[in-house]
Amino acid sequence: MRLLNPVASSSPSSLLESALRSVGKILVRCVYRVRAHRLENLPPGGFLLLPNHLSWVDALVLQIACPRPIRFVVFEEFYRMPLLHPLFRAVGAIPIAPKRAKEAVRLAAELIGKGEVVCLFPEGELSRTGILLRLKRGYELIARSAQCPVVPVWLDQLWGSIFSFEGGKYFFKWPKRLPYPVTVAFGTPIAHEAADIARLRERFLELGEFCFQARESLRGHLGEACVRGLRKRQWSTALVDGMDHSTLTRGTLLAAAIALSRRLAEDCPHHRIAIVLPAGKAAVIANLAVVLAGKVPVNLNFTAGRASLEAAARIGNLQHCLTAGPLLKRLPDFPWPPNSLLLENLMPQLKPAVLGWRLAVAVTPSWVLARFLGIPRVGDRDEAVLLFTSGSSGEPKGVALTHRNVLGNVSQFALMLNLSRRDALLACLPFFHSFGCTVTLWYPLIEGMRAITYPNPLEIAKNAELIARYGVTLFCSTPTFLRGYLRKVEPAQLASLSLVVTGAEKLPNELAEAFQERFGKEVLQGYGLTETSPVVSVNLPEPAAPKSDDPERYPVQPSSRRGSVGKLAPGIAAQIRDPDTGGSLSLHETGMLWLRGPNVFDGYLDDSERSAEVLIDGWFKTGDLGRFDEDGFLYIEGRLSRFSKIGGEMVPHETIESKIVELLELPRDERFIAVAGIPDEAKGEALVVLSTLEIEPGLLREKLAAAGFPNLWIPKKLQRIEVIPILASGKLDLKKCKDLALAAAG
């Protein structure tokens, strides 16, 4: 038969094949430094090897990592190319064509039965985003036919190689490093009858997390990463303060932070330093200075209640605080730490030191500068930043993020967005907000983006003015804050935006549609938690395909899906477990979402009991119910705290809220209702609708019943309130909502 000839003419033991493999390994090793892990997982007999697919050299790298010869299944279009055909034929590749797939499947199964290793790329195409694509089911035919185990294998860090599509093109770019580091990890074999696409994706994610954790950069120190990032292009603008439009170059920002860090090292003996400042030039310098001083910055939510702030000060043992005089006057009830340092008093005294350090920054290599400043080479799992949960459902908890957490999440976010130094972001989210801290503070310092700061995300007109004036391309917000743009902003003001990303709460479909209709900008929903540093997943624009005369050759690779929160960031593993029993479920089923990755925190500060509730063997229980579709998009069905168990049935608050907005045709530019659950002796819980509008309860119940809502899902009580409680982060204040609902119920 036609397919047998290529293999039959070149057996695994042939001299030609061995010579070609040896020469190939030598050539690849000149460019790549390949580290193979978990080789003990490779079965002794024949098996089907399934790798992810990132670059044109994946097969060569995989053959270096695997101690046994591999038979690769290759699309016949490539197999027949004049330059490649002799090589493919010599190494016994298996050509496959859509119309003759059965022949290739039969031959692959036959070779596996003879004890050989056959490799198939289950994605069927090269990733143009670096993220795992939909897994095609063709591998299941081979596995079932051969009755063989399936071995997943993960290739890490090839995204960024000149042979990958990183940067929107193949080949025509300079290599970032030589030799280029690559990590390969082989997974445990999966029995052919259990190797469905959900199980395979779960194993891929776990292998990807293992490889990402092995990256040497994650062992670094946040301070050194900032020194290195700011010294590059040190004469370019680092940030623009939106309050007075003053600018700081990257080198000057670094010099000012170094000068302040020396003073803090002398005057503040305690390990942590509180920062009470809105997003702006002063807050950026303060945070960087604290890290460079070898201490931990603690940005406090100055909009929170006194009890929450006192709890934060107690948990963090905060004795020193960096702030400004106007805030001291504006916050008379704030529980200030014993020692408050005013930046407007400190910085003028440090001007000579800033000038001296500016000269040092200009002429000193970053690694020498870091050693001179006493920044450790290794930060890794030491505490880098302390944040506090918003307290949306109770007393805030101290989330101690490590250097590995922050550096890992910055790297993950950068890999997903793939922005350039020409891009600019609007930093209007407060730095005590986890997204504001990592994405709008540390991300631009390390990755070289220009940041335009403004202290208040609620001043819609001013933020829109800054977007237009400085050509902002990345805008991160929350759905609550985004609603105001529909009323107060003209489309031309947002023309420069290429990415609008929301998080913190669920993005209502009607809000996304209204925003796109008015501004022509797709709102990309993401997902994260303070405990995950925070970015877990995000929707992204579809990547451009390589130029080709045949559009079918490069099909669309979906990178966003309405209703989902996008695909997981690189290096994050996920499991779906039963919320009640903790038993494993398929990724395609709805259940409790558990995560593991370099961005997942190690535990709450000095709170082993609550840490043990959410962390088991490195896996973090998010408290959110979720599922994945076959393309790998994550859907968050709701936070467990936003469900009520009524008569043994889980009732989602957000679904009811969305339906009420739809049925009553409420305006989409503001939040008018919220659903809360309260204890009920008869059915466990009862639902209360909190509303800022006058709504007739009987009419609402009739409409919900007519819409087909189950009787258990229809709220029995409606309470009129003045305003829906919202936290400074833009999230619904669940604790206050429940208190209002309890008060309404007497």
The CATH label, of 1.20.81, 2.30.30, 2.40.50, 3.40.1130, for the domain at 4-214 is 3.40.1130
The model's pLDDT over 491-550, given as tens digits with 9 standing for 90+, comes to 999 999 999 999 877 888 888 888 899 999 999 999 998 999 999 999 998 877 766 555
391 SS3 class = coil
Residue 387's pLDDT is: 94
Residue 6 reports pLDDT greater than 60: no
Helix ranges (DSSP H) in 293-379:
306-316, 325-330, 343-349, 351-363, 366-372
Q: What span, in angstroms and rounded, lies between the C-alpha atoms of 445 and 111? A: 53
- Choose between 217 and 81: higher pLDDT: 217
Residue 4 reports pLDDT greater than 50: no
736 SS3 class = helix
- Cis before 179 (ω within 30): yes
Q: What span, in angstroms and rounded, lies between the C-alpha atoms of 160 and 167? A: 8
Residue 604 reports pLDDT greater than 90: yes
The model's pLDDT over 376-394, given as tens digits with 9 standing for 90+, comes to 999 999 999 999 986 545 5
CB contact set of 493 (below 8 Å; sequence gap of 6+): 464, 465, 467, 468
Q: What span, in angstroms and rounded, lies between the C-alpha atoms of 483 and 670? A: 6
Summary mean pLDDT of the chain: 86
Q: Are 418 and 441 in contact (CB under 8 A)?
A: no
The topology (CATH level 3) of 222-544+563-568 is Rossmann fold (3.40.50)
- Among 282-291, 477-486, 546-555, 674-683, the range of highest mean pLDDT: 282-291
Q: What span, in angstroms and rounded, lies between the C-alpha atoms of 70 and 63? A: 7
The model's pLDDT over 410-451, given as tens digits with 9 standing for 90+, comes to 999 998 888 888 899 999 989 998 889 999 999 999 999 999
* Average pLDDT value for residue range 593-621: 93
Which H helix or E strand runs over 298? strand 296-299
Residue 5 reports pLDDT greater than 70: no
Share in percent of the chain as helix, strand, coil (round to 5): 40, 25, 40
pTM of the model: 0.85
Spatial CA neighbour of 726 closest among 423, 304, 372: 304
Helix ranges (DSSP H) in 422-574:
434-437, 443-447, 460-470, 479-488, 509-519
Q: What span, in angstroms and rounded, lies between the C-alpha atoms of 544 and 293? A: 44
189 SS3 class = coil
Percent of the chain with pLDDT over 70: 89
Apex CA 213: angle with CA 212 and CA 215, to 5°?
70
Residue 441: how many CA atoms within 13 Å on its side-chain side? 33
The second-level CATH assignment, the architecture, of 647-744 is 2-Layer Sandwich (3.30)
Give the residue extent of every domain in the chain.
4-214, 222-544+563-568, 647-744
The model's pLDDT over 29-43, given as tens digits with 9 standing for 90+, comes to 667 788 999 999 999
Give the pair of three-digit tokens for residue 289. Answer: 């200075």
Q: What span, in angstroms and rounded, lies between the C-alpha atoms of 103 and 99? A: 9
Spatial CA neighbour of 525 closest among 572, 566, 570, 482: 566
